Structures are given as C-alpha cells and as structure tokens.
Amino acid sequence: MSDTFPWEHMLERARTNSLLGKQLFVVFTMPENGMEPIQANIKEHLAYQRMLEDTGVMFAAGPMADMNGETWSGDGMVVIRAESLEDAKAIAAADPMHAAGARKYMVRPWIVNEGTMTVKVGFASGSRELI
C-alpha cells in the first residue's frame, strides 16, 4: 500500500463527501539573512500584500511566532487564490521580500474542507472582527 495519494484524488474525495473542497495555496516565507533585510523591504512587501488583498488574490496573511509563541524571527504565511501551483509560485516570487532575497519561500497547495468563519461588522463604528 502506498504512503501517498494523488492530489487529484484528494480533490475528488472532497467533492464526493460534500466538503468545501476549495483549493488555495499556502506560501511559507522565512528569513534568508536575518531581520535587517526584512526590515529594509517591509514597506514594499506590505504594499504588495495590500495589492494582493485589493485584487482578491490574498485570502489571509500574517507573521508566524516561533515555536514557543513568544517571539518573531521573520517567518510568515500567506494564503492565496491562484489557478495553479505555477501561478501561485509566480505570485510568491513577485513579492518584493522574495525578489530582494530577504526571505526564501515554499508554496504548497491546500484544500479547505472543514471549518467555519464568522465576521462581525459594526456599521456605525466601522469596526470589524473575525470570530
């Protein structure tokens, strides 16, 4: 018996079991040469992230704490919508943080099958909260 399954099998399993089956792509991003290059490229990186958000490419993004949950050493994660793994890799490569060599990255397909999301919006206050 094999220890792996074809990815298409996983997508089909989601469809036939009434799961969401939404394929997204996760970009894991890690410092290449410490924090100084990250700080030097943060403005351009955040502008790129905003553009991905504004155009509907980005699902979610943000920094990741170290394993102890107490510090940040430059790691992050970006979840994007793309037509293919190749397209997702191109989107990740165009991030100024990656293009400048401040961070290295890895892109992996991900299927969202289960979960829930609740968004609370205060009309008068303009507040928003993801619950």
pLDDT tens figures, 16-60: 999 999 999 999 999 999 999 999 999 999 999 999 999 999 999
pLDDT in the model for residue 56: 95
User: pTM score, two decimals?
Assistant: 0.89
Q: Rounded mean pLDDT of 89-98?
A: 98
What pLDDT band is residue 1 in, cutting at 50, 70 and 90?
low
CA distances from 3 to 6, 20, 21, 45 (A): 10, 24, 22, 38
Distance CA 64, CA 73 (A): 8
Residue-averaged pLDDT of the chain: 94
Task: Please tell me the total count of domains within the chain.
Answer: 1
CA 118 to chain centroid, in Å, comes to: 19
Q: Would residue 36 count as lying in a domain?
A: yes
pLDDT at 82 over 80: yes
Q: Would residue 91 count as lying in a domain?
A: yes
Q: Would residue 1 count as lying in a domain?
A: no
Assign 9 to helix, strand or coil.
Answer: helix
The CATH number for 60's domain is: 3.30.70.1060
What pLDDT band is residue 130 in, cutting at 50, 70 and 90?
confident
Find the domain containing 117 and state its range.
Answer: 7-130
Q: Would residue 2 count as lying in a domain?
A: no
What pLDDT band is residue 2 in, cutting at 50, 70 and 90?
confident
